[in-house]
Amino acid sequence: MNAIGGGIMTDVGKRGLLTELNEIYRIHDLDLSAVNLEICPEDTMFTKGDEDHYFNVGLSCLKSILLALSSAQKDKSGIKTILDFPSGWGRELRFIKAYFPDAEITAGDLEEGALRFCKDQFDAVPLLSRKDFSRITLVKKFDLIWCGSLLTHLNEDKALELLNFFHEALNEDGILSFTSQGRFSNYLLDSGKCNYGLEGAECQTLMQQYELRGYGFVNYLGAEDYGISLIKPSHIIKMTERNKNWKLIMYSEKKYDNHQDVISFLKEPVSNICMRPWLDRWIKRQESEKL
Ligand SMILES: C[S@@+](CC[C@H](N)C(=O)[O-])C[C@H]1O[C@@H](n2cnc3c(N)ncnc32)[C@H](O)[C@@H]1O
């Protein structure tokens, strides 16, 4: 079925592949025939002949979103506006679109060509991003934000800036899911199984910072503020617990493509965490007894 080696996979082959992959993810209410199979030749996330990996990433994104919804005790009918940021050329967007056909989906990225493709193929509203996230112009807020593999390229200051942008962009009670490179990525680097395109000395620096500070980052060669990050799960929590309106609903290691961790938050004041009526009544009784 797989076309690694340069062959071109037909649409029939791609549909068969999706069916096989979904036997792993078991997203039974996903209409696989609604998944757009068009892959842009400029898509830098696609390695020719490796549809297997490409579609696996997309399905694992959707599975992660559904787990976050379930943790938040929400169902898809409550999700009317979605931001996929960064969308790239729609590796994940095609699955989000197939699963949430009635939602309005916005695609955000720095690449204008990628945004054009997402608009043409998936009917996504384009949102041209900025290197400085605080300067992005928002015209609406979202019920769900998916961020596949962007924090993985940012230093800690930029990552915090991005999380602030997401907080701003979410509706109250909205869900954010993003990916991060954590303990498994550290293992891949340490064992020499993967170098994320870095030289040996940079890999060492990355792992040392990760050990010492919990957040490691090195720039790609010649790049500024864009490279590879490695973040301990405990450090992600530290970065986000300052914001009392983020309620952590999921931390799932290696959930994305059997590789990156997925972290999900609900935008809800921590003081709202108590949702049980009996506990509310108990707190009120305690308060009235104090009077
Ligand atoms: C690893 S790719 C992931 C794309 C997509 N989520 C996927 O999995 O196919 C990273 C993407 O981040 C985009 N990017 C880099 N800096 C950005 C920024 N400041 N704002 C929005 N997108 C950015 C790049 O253009 C690229 O498409």
For atom 21 of ligand 1, the residue with the nearest CA is: 109
Q: Are residues 71 and 137 in the same domain?
A: yes
Question: For residue 18, what is the domain's CATH number?
Answer: 3.40.50
The verdict on whether omega for the bond into residue 126 sits within 30 degrees of 0, i.e. cis, is: no
pLDDT reported for residue 149: 98
Residue 3's pLDDT band (cuts 50, 70, 90): very low
From 230, 247, 262, give the residue that closes a domain: 230
Q: Are residues 156 and 74 in the same domain?
A: yes
Question: How many domains in the chain?
Answer: 2
- Choose which residue among 110, 162, 225 to substitute to test ligand 1 binding: the one with the highest number of ligand atoms within 8 A of its C-beta: 110
Neighbouring C-alpha atoms within 13 Å toward the C-beta of 8: 6
pLDDT band at 277 (very low <50, low <70, confident <90, very high): confident
Answer yes or no: do 37 and 74 share one domain. yes
**Do 70 and 38 sit in the same domain of this protein?**
yes
Region 248-268 average pLDDT: 97
Domain assignment of residue 204, given as a range = 183-230
Note whether residue 113 is domain-resident: no
pLDDT of residue 279: 77
Instruction: Judge if 269 and 224 occupy the same domain.
Output: no
Residue 19 lies in a domain: yes
pLDDT in tens, 66-120: 999 999 999 999 999 999 999 999 999 999 999 999 999 999 999 999 999 999 9
In a domain, 283, yes or no: yes
Q: Is the dihedral of CA 135, 140, 144, 148 positive or negative?
A: negative
My answer on whether 187 and 286 are in the same domain is: no
Lining residues, ligand 1, CB within 6 Å: 45, 57, 86, 88, 91-92, 108-111, 114, 129, 131, 148-150
Looking at the fold, whether 166 and 137 belong to one and the same domain comes out as yes
**Residue 103, phi-psi category: left (phi > 0), alpha (psi -120 to 50), beta (remainder):** beta
User: Distance from the CA of 11 to the center of ligand 1, in angstroms?
Assistant: 26
**pLDDT given at position 5:** 45
Are 187 and 175 contained in the same domain? Answer: no
136: pLDDT confidence band, cut at 50, 70 and 90? very high
